[in-house]
Structure 1
Amino acid sequence: MRRFIPALLPLAMLLTGCTTGAYDLVETAAIAPRYEDKDPQDFGYNHPHRYPVHGIDVSKWQGDIQWQKVKDSGVSFAFIKATEGKDRLDSRFHEYWQRANAVGIPHAPYHFLYFCSTADEQADWFIRNVPKASMDLPPVLDAEWNGHSPTCRKRPDPETVRRVMQRFMDRLEAHYGKRPIIYTSVDFHRDNLVGHFRNYHFWVRSVAAHPKDIYADRTWAFWQYTSTAVVPGIPGLTDINVFAGSPKNWQKWVASVSN
């Protein structure tokens, strides 16, 4: 059980009026995989199936999602792509969040950060397109390098990166009343984020090892462990994530951020 305490500490500290003692931590008994993975990895002892709360992240590329089937399969949350840069809106965003909401899956919109436009331009675009009603969970800033982007591959210095991120997140927090979650990848975190943004929830990508083995000195709230999962109701393959706590932890956390 001690292996999971570090991942839960930031959640407990950021819950209003809740202490670490209010958490019942993740059980370490093995849990069978909930979803088929077309490219499974050997995570060893600390495999993601020890975490019982699973969720998806989706964009227009997932196509015609049958949201009731998704919920019935055991999905507990959905991160839904909303915007990118200063002028791109995912064509399925409004449909997805409305349907996720209709079946009762807690959901949050995410923004893919560009460095070829200002933080304010991107925040303005997000706020213009993402109504407050579209999120049960806090909004997400997707911060990673845009290596394959046809329009923006700029890589600023770390101070500039952090300044842009902070400005964007401050704007969203002021507008929506929720502190954003930061999604990041291994290389972007290593280049820019080690030791920073400790008062934010992190959603980390790590598809070959447990996050504690990959992210230096970083606690995390969500772990994206595969992009090749088969989820009933979603055509093709999709990403799967786990929350760093038990179902009871999850219910308390959702309640704390849904006001």
Structure 2
Amino acid sequence: MRTALMLAVMAFATLSCGRSSPPPQLVEAQSFPDATPPSVIFPAFADADPHEWEGRHPGHYPVHGLDVSRWQGAIDWRTAKQSGVSFVFIKATEGGDVADPMFASHRQGAQAAGVPWGAYHYYYFCRSAREQARWFIQNVPKGSDLPHVLDMEWTPHSKTCTLRPDGATVRAEAQQFLDILERHYGRRPIVYTTVDFYGDTNIGRLPKTEFWLRSVAGHPRNVYPKAVWRLWQYTGTGLVPGVQGRVDINVFNGPPEIWARWKSGSP
């Protein structure tokens, strides 16, 4: 009976993902030896600009979450959680002197609603990795539920820095930033990146590093051949109850049992 119910919910999510926003489908959790998460949710969020997915698509993944910044404004986190949001990554810092003014509000709101959170840093290639790591640590307290994130992508539209270092330099800077944060927070951050940046820099060669990949027009296995990924950002135009306007939506690569272990930091 439980298996049949799970398959029925997955089929429903397959039909509805990206086109409408019905109530999230709840399925009884099966076995969580190291944690006790809530019921499994296969949300079917709406999308302002939906993609016609071929083959495996976001609706096949049970664990969905957001990444947000000042541009989302105030968020009703309890409504967002009830709609199927299982996690959030919140922009905290950029470069060595920019802090997102909504970080504290988003973090406190997510915590109060019981939405697991992590913070992300938008990398700036005209400052040192050490300086940027110190800035992040200055602005982000310990106690996150998730690993933090290093967001690395090209910045061709920046008014102050359009540098494009070679791959070896990028990987060395990323390594230094990740090492500093790992020593401070006790958990290695993950790396968020885009298709062109991933291909240009070979950042996927970083050791001991998990990746969060952006791919809004195809599954990561097709867009990032042979890449190993933990999170997939599948849209930047999602519509989620509790959030004003469009928002990025992501899925976790794995079943609820793996999500529970990963979230808790278990190997």
* Residues 213/27 of structure 1: CA separation in 2 closer, same or farther (3 Å cut): farther
Q: In structure 1, what is the Cα distance between the partners aligned to 2:247 and 2:222?
A: 24
Aligned match of 2:167: 158
- The answer to whether the aligner puts 1:54 opposite 2:92 as a matched pair is no
Aligned match of 1:30: 11
Q: In structure 1, what is the Cα distance between the partners aligned to 2:225 and 2:65?
A: 24
- The answer to whether the aligner puts 1:246 opposite 2:255 as a matched pair is yes
- The answer to whether the aligner puts 1:210 opposite 2:219 as a matched pair is yes
Q: In structure 2, what is the Cα distance between the partners aligned to 1:257 and 1:96?
A: 26
Residue 117 of structure 1 deviates from its aligned partner by 0.3
- The answer to whether the aligner puts 1:122 opposite 2:122 as a matched pair is no
Greater length-normalized contact order (CA 8 Å, ≥ 6 residues apart): 1
Q: Deviations over 1:97-155 (max 9, x none)?
A: 1110111111100000011000011011001111113x110110001001111111111
Aligned match of 1:85: 95
| Alignment counterpart, residue 123 of structure 2, candidates 83, 102, 113 | 113
Q: Which runs of 5+ in 2 are unaligned?
A: 1-5, 18-43
Counterpart secondary structure, 2:89: strand
| Alignment counterpart, residue 151 of structure 2, candidates 107, 120, 142 | 142
| Alignment counterpart, residue 210 of structure 2, candidates 201, 216, 219 | 201
Q: In structure 2, what is the Cα distance between the partners aligned to 1:60 and 1:215?
A: 29
Q: In structure 2, what is the Cα distance between the partners aligned to 1:77 and 1:225?
A: 15
Q: In structure 2, what is the Cα distance between the partners aligned to 1:233 and 1:54?
A: 15
Q: Which runs of 5+ in 1 are unaligned?
A: 1-25
Aligned match of 2:232: 223
Structure 1 runs (4+) greater than 4 angstroms displaced? 26-29
Q: In structure 1, what is the Cα distance between the partners aligned to 2:127 and 2:146?
A: 26
Q: In structure 2, what is the Cα distance between the partners aligned to 1:178 and 1:199?
A: 11
Aligned match of 2:179: 170
Q: In structure 2, what is the Cα distance between the partners aligned to 1:241 and 1:66?
A: 18
Root-mean-square deviation (CA, aligned residues, Å) is: 1.7
Residue 232 of structure 1 deviates from its aligned partner by 0.4
- Identity between Structure 1 and Structure 2 (%): 52
Residue 257 of structure 1 deviates from its aligned partner by 5.6
* Residues 112/194 of structure 1: CA separation in 2 closer, same or farther (3 Å cut): closer
Q: In structure 2, what is the Cα distance between the partners aligned to 1:27 and 1:79?
A: 29
Counterpart secondary structure, 2:157: coil
TM-score (norm 1): 0.86
TM-score (norm 2): 0.83
